[in-house]
Structure 1
Amino acid sequence: ARTGRTLGIITDARYRFERGVDPEFMVPGVELATKLVLDFCGGTPTEMEVAGYNGHKAKVVSFPLSEVKRLTGIEVPKAESLDILTRLGFEPHGTGDVVKVKVPSWRPDVDGKADLVEEVMRIHGVDNIAPQPLTSHDAVNGRILTTLQVRTRSAKRALAVRGMMEAVTWSFIPAKHAELFGGGQTELKLANPIAADMSDMRPSLLPGLLSAAQRNADRGIGDVALFEVSGTYEGDAADQQRRVAAGVRRGTAKLDGSGRSWAGNAGPVGVFDAKADAIAALEACGAPVDRLQIEPGGPAWYHPGRSGTIKLGPKTVLGTFGEFHPKTLEALDVSGPICGFEVYVDAVPEPKAKPTRTKPKLELSPFQAVKRDFAFVVDRTVEAGTLVRAALAADKKLVTGVSVFDVFEGASLGAAKKSIAIEVSIQPVEKTLTDEDFEALARRIVENVNKQTGGVLRA
């Protein structure tokens, strides 16, 4: 076959021998053909000569007889297995549980013990293999995916619903970009990078997404929102790889639309767009968004006055967000406006195990809900989130929601003061509340806000 391919010649010999004709049958075949010619035509044959063939060297396969049971699930007696192989032209030798089987020259397809099992079953009868049901693991509604896999899928869906497009960027980035985002360690440098600008494992998903957004802008698509949920690397150990959900918005790629419109042009993206994306990703991952704490400021690649850090308690950091620092954009050769976020999917705490997966019954209050407004004068440094949490904590049973609807600063409030107005939703549960009940609840709200923020009710 090799010679025929080299010379480009197709002959009958090549056609047959490259398909596995028994090489040991060449001499008997010539003898048979010569006999037929002499019988029908007569004549005197010449002496036969064999060239280029040194004889067949038989393969010997070690065959454990227990393989028949292991691979097929049925018990075939040892004597029957050896008898089948012998009748097929194989030559088994040995008397133990493992025998040596010499493969005949006309069976070049037999290479290992599994092939011998196939020969035994072919003759014994494949129909003797009884059908067996799949093993039941008592998991009709059992969980298949891990928590991290579920969160990854949920985060992708949540960000896609928010109008962002998924991107898959390289895990390798230039050393300059890695150092800019807290990486560049020696153990994260590649020994044999595929390109000079792909020398370091990425410490963050943001460099790749920023570069991708700029490539889109260079081709005329300036309003683009991209996200990626993948791994980042803080070191070369297994526990130093993190699962992160990150995204960037450029130009006017807001949730409610981008570009120019007769009803009003969309504004540039900002820190609150990135914050909303980050909170949506965390909520999809099962984080308790009602207990999250937002601290101003973030890593050095964000604008110091337009960024934030999302925490759950004083130590657990769940993510960061903000508008990017002009120096960061300049170092990456990226133009703005552009904002982004990173959420650490693997940092979200595991949910508490429930005794049952059945949903709790729906409980609706038959009483009318009431909303009350409060305005507090606080120091300018007090965060609105702190005031909201203080109002919620006044009565966790009756107060079902608190939202900020106005912030005012002016000379009439005094230096370094501001007014924050909140709307408190109150849902009676056991009875209709009287005026005295509402007044008592209002006092508790005012006292709790004053205790935690120092705010006083605005006159």
Structure 2
Amino acid sequence: MKFTLSWLKTHLATDADLPMILKALTDIGLEVEGVENPAEKLGAFKIAKVLSAERHPQADKLQVLTVDHGDGNPLQVVCGAPNARAGLVGVFGVEGAVVPANGMVLKKTAIRGVESNGMMCSFRELELGDEHDGIIELAAHAPVGQNYAAWAGLDDPVIDVSITPNRQDCMGVRGIARDLAAKGLGTLNAIVVPVIEGVGPGPDVRTDDPEGCPAFFARTVTGVTNGQSPEWMARRLKAIGQKPISTLVDITNYIMIDLGRPLHVYDMAMLKGPLVARKGRSGEQVLALNGKTYTVDPTMTVIADDEAVHDIGGIMGGEHSGATDATTQVLIECAYFTPEHIAMTGQKLTLTSDARGRFERGVDPAFLDDGLSIAADLVMKLCGGTASEATRAGQPPLTPKKVSYDPARCLGLAGVDVPAAEQKRILQSLGFTVEGDESRVEYQDGMPVSIAGDWTVTVPTWRRDVDGWPDLVEEVVRIVGLDHVPSTPLPREPGVARPTATPEQLMERRVRRTAAARGLSEAINWSFISEKEAASVGGGAWTLANPISEDLKVMRPSLLPGLLSATRRNMDRGAPSIRLFELGRRYGADKERAAVGFVLAGEKAPRGWQSGKAQGFTAFDAKAEVIALLGAAGAPVANLQNFGEASAAYHPGQSGTLRLGPKVVLAEYGVLHPSLAKQFGLTGMVVAGEIFLDAIPARRKTGFMRAPYAPPALQAVKRDFAFIVPEAVEADALVRAVKGADKKAIVEARLFDIFTGAGVEEGHKSLAIEVTLQPGEKSFSQEELDAISTAVVKAAAKLGGTLRG
């Protein structure tokens, strides 16, 4: 919602400056998205007069001008505008000025061998309109040398406010002014509704669709002359990005922005018979004002005559019956459309408009007569003509909502102690009617205490969003200021506070922190994916009956599709190294399950003079991340077993699963399958993994105390063994076998080298394992060490391993 500062002040009598107004808007819940002052970028552009104009000696379409810009030193300017001539008063950009349209810095230059200083400008170059046929022509009396923006009244900041869907009353400048007045920034000016004595009967209109269009009010104005809007109206509309079209059309747009009341004008010469609000008929089409043709159906409300549909009710008018320069008689429509019907029609037709944005929020149903009178009055003042009487078909929903309210609830719900009198002032200034006792006296502990009585609050017709007393508390608190809401901690039990997080939440917190500490960035993706993406990871079990999009139709069976899409977006933006993880839910056939997924792509480390060629990620990098995250989740990492290839999402031979026994799969990892990588548009080596948090066995409850740390009294002993084993033997299996050779003495075993080549026969490999031995009460003797070594060699022999010589 955009408006200018001067426009706001037509409704709000205030001395507040721009910073105060911007702060107040944010304080009352109307977030300011931006402020732009056109005068700031036009500070170097002056009013100038062309003293002479001669043909350029080297170009027929160029002229050499002598320009007086007010400093007593006329400048020579080369200009190609067809309307450049001696005596013209226009806008001149001095040397050093920046042209708003293209960012060009003006400087002294030679054009076809003739020196040129600065530039005479067009409206488009100054971003003041689309006109570019020639340079700006001002009135002959315009003061030469004065700043153009200041003289033209362009020093008027444009404020852009974000309006939440529940604040339909702030979809007009007046509603925003009303809120600021309630905040105390000024006084709301009274709105003047003209009294129009209509001549002759009103137009023949009716509503046959009371559900979609309960009320249809209209007047005709005969003898109008359409043309360009007055300068004040065109300037305001252009300032907020609305393109002026003609006076009749601009009046409806102006009232919509000014008062939040959408209207529409029809050329009476194009209508055949009475104008009716009715349900659409299957196959009916309308050519809308945006130049597109739309097909309506019986769920939509349309405005039609005897021959054709002229309007998609409440959303957009038709091109056929719109006002043109030849229009001499118009019908002004001021109708009330049901918000829910407007929203559904807009969604079906994928059609948005300023009118739809207001009608689907809910316009003021009590403002039909007044809005129609204001529009007809403006038409007669600006276009001439005579208005008819008003025709009122149907009845808008005007049943008032009444809410019982106790002012003490403001403190109880919001924690802000606002006096009852101030609450009453705020509500009344917002348009609410407050009835009831001011206060009553009760005795507490023998002392008289004044307590506010219960009120009956009537909700204004323009506040469709207010339903109960909590809404009234919200109104009071936002006007007082959300910064006055105290930060009050929740009550705690005496002593140690009870934990509020569940074990599952604590586990997820550890996993999230561990992933971040290892250099992974968290991604948050939709839980919905497309059917094609779901099929790529085995298919989804849950399909939505009413998805918001075909691309968000299936509940994800895996976290990988979302992560892979995010990886592609990062690749498209040139990210050299991508490390993403997500902690969320995947959806199986029986229930949702907690999981962690990650993707590593691009360069493992940046290329440099030390590292040489940039290296990519491998399946071993994925395995390392899986083990680290499983450890953070509390899984018994030391007991995990590697069971070879993972699901079809991974590359055969370059992937694996980590399990507790053959059936309990805790994670899968590896290089992404080439076909899946191609489907998501990924290039290079991409590795990924997914951890199934729900499969991790819960820890036994052993109390709140950890066992005391008891470091061993004696130093550990390390021994290295290198075994020649068949290539088919997995290193993990050999490490487990070695570790199990003497479970009492051997506390750790790890693989530190793999070798194939000279000295190792074909079909075999050398695996080197470091074994850590921990003595207990006394040091190992040589005989004990030899016995342990013999046991290690025998354990390796069971897998076909022999000690390497």
Give yes or no for TM over 0.5. yes
Post-superposition offset of 1:174 = 1.6
Normalised to the residue count of structure 2, the TM-score between the two structures is 0.40
Contact 1:223/1:259, CA 8 A, preserved across alignment: no
Letter in 2 for 1:247: F
Structure 2 unaligned blocks of 5 or more: 1-168, 179-187, 192-399, 405-412, 414-435, 441-452, 459-466, 471-489
Contact 2:602/2:684, CA 8 A, preserved across alignment: yes
1:273 corresponds in structure 2 to: 621
Contact 1:258/1:266, CA 8 A, preserved across alignment: yes
Alignment partner of 1:203 is 2:203: no
1:458 corresponds in structure 2 to: 804
Q: Secondary structure of the equivalent of 2:508?
A: helix
Structure 1 unaligned blocks of 5 or more: 13-56, 62-70, 72-85, 91-102, 115-132
Alignment partner of 1:401 is 2:748: yes
Task: Give runs of aligned pairs for residues 205-244 of structure 1, distance below 5 A.
Answer: 205-235=559-589, 239-244=590-595
> Hey, what's the Cα distance between the residues in 1 that align with 2:556 and 2:722?
47
Specify which of 517, 532, 546 is matched with residue 161 of structure 1: 517
Deviations 1:291-319 (A, max 9, x none): 11112211111110111111111110011
> Hey, what's the Cα distance between the residues in 1 that align with 2:609 and 2:756?
33
Alignment partner of 1:358 is 2:705: yes
Task: Give runs of aligned pairs for residues 5-404 of structure 1, distance below 5 A.
Answer: 107-108=456-457, 136=493, 140=496, 142-185=498-541, 188-235=542-589, 239-252=590-603, 254=604, 257-355=605-703, 357-404=704-751
> Hey, what's the Cα distance between the residues in 2 that align with 1:389 and 1:378?
14
Post-superposition offset of 1:222 = 3.4
Contact 1:211/1:334, CA 8 A, preserved across alignment: no
| Residues 368, 113 of structure 1: alpha-carbon distance in 2 compared, 3 angstrom cutoff | closer
**Between structures 1 and 2, the one with greater helix share:** 1
Post-superposition offset of 1:411 = 7.2
Letter in 2 for 1:438: L
Deviations 1:40-85 (A, max 9, x none): xxxxxxxxxxxxxxxxx9x999xxxxxxxxx9xxxxxxxxxxxxxx
> RMSD of the TM alignment (CA)?
3.8
Post-superposition offset of 1:419 = 2.3
Normalised to the residue count of structure 1, the TM-score between the two structures is 0.68
> Hey, what's the Cα distance between the residues in 2 that align with 1:446 and 1:262?
40
Contact 1:249/1:339, CA 8 A, preserved across alignment: yes
Post-superposition offset of 1:139 = 8.0
Post-superposition offset of 1:199 = 1.9
| Residues 336, 291 of structure 1: alpha-carbon distance in 2 compared, 3 angstrom cutoff | same
> Hey, what's the Cα distance between the residues in 2 that align with 1:393 and 1:362?
25
- Identify which of structures 1 and 2 has the higher relative contact order when contacts are C-alpha pairs closer than 8 Å and 6+ apart: 1
Deviations 1:212-252 (A, max 9, x none): 111111111132111100011113xxx52111100101111
| Residues 449, 152 of structure 1: alpha-carbon distance in 2 compared, 3 angstrom cutoff | same
Contact 1:408/1:420, CA 8 A, preserved across alignment: yes
Query: What is the identity percentage for the equivalent residue pairs of Structure 1 and Structure 2?
Result: 41
**Between structures 1 and 2, the one with greater strand share:** 2
Q: Secondary structure of the equivalent of 1:168?
A: coil
Post-superposition offset of 1:10 = 5.1
Q: May I ask how many residue pairs the two structures share in their alignment?
A: 354
Deviations 1:89-140 (A, max 9, x none): 99xxxxxxxxxxxx99x7548x9999xxxxxxxxxxxxxxxxxx9574x882
> Hey, what's the Cα distance between the residues in 1 that align with 2:626 and 2:593?
17
Q: Secondary structure of the equivalent of 1:401?
A: strand
Contact 1:304/1:325, CA 8 A, preserved across alignment: yes
Contact 2:540/2:587, CA 8 A, preserved across alignment: no
| Residues 196, 141 of structure 1: alpha-carbon distance in 2 compared, 3 angstrom cutoff | same
2:444 corresponds in structure 1 to: none
Contact 1:148/1:346, CA 8 A, preserved across alignment: no
Contact 2:403/2:469, CA 8 A, preserved across alignment: no
> Hey, what's the Cα distance between the residues in 2 that align with 1:220 and 1:112?
52
Contact 2:540/2:588, CA 8 A, preserved across alignment: no
> Hey, what's the Cα distance between the residues in 1 that align with 2:726 and 2:522?
42
Contact 2:643/2:657, CA 8 A, preserved across alignment: yes
| Residues 135, 227 of structure 1: alpha-carbon distance in 2 compared, 3 angstrom cutoff | closer
Deviations 1:430-452 (A, max 9, x none): 1011111111111222223333x
Deviations 1:176-219 (A, max 9, x none): 1111111244xx22222222322221111111111111111111
Post-superposition offset of 1:261 = 4.5
| Residues 379, 169 of structure 1: alpha-carbon distance in 2 compared, 3 angstrom cutoff | same
Post-superposition offset of 1:379 = 2.0
| Residues 139, 409 of structure 1: alpha-carbon distance in 2 compared, 3 angstrom cutoff | farther
Q: Secondary structure of the equivalent of 1:442?
A: helix
| Residues 442, 112 of structure 1: alpha-carbon distance in 2 compared, 3 angstrom cutoff | closer
| Residues 135, 338 of structure 1: alpha-carbon distance in 2 compared, 3 angstrom cutoff | closer
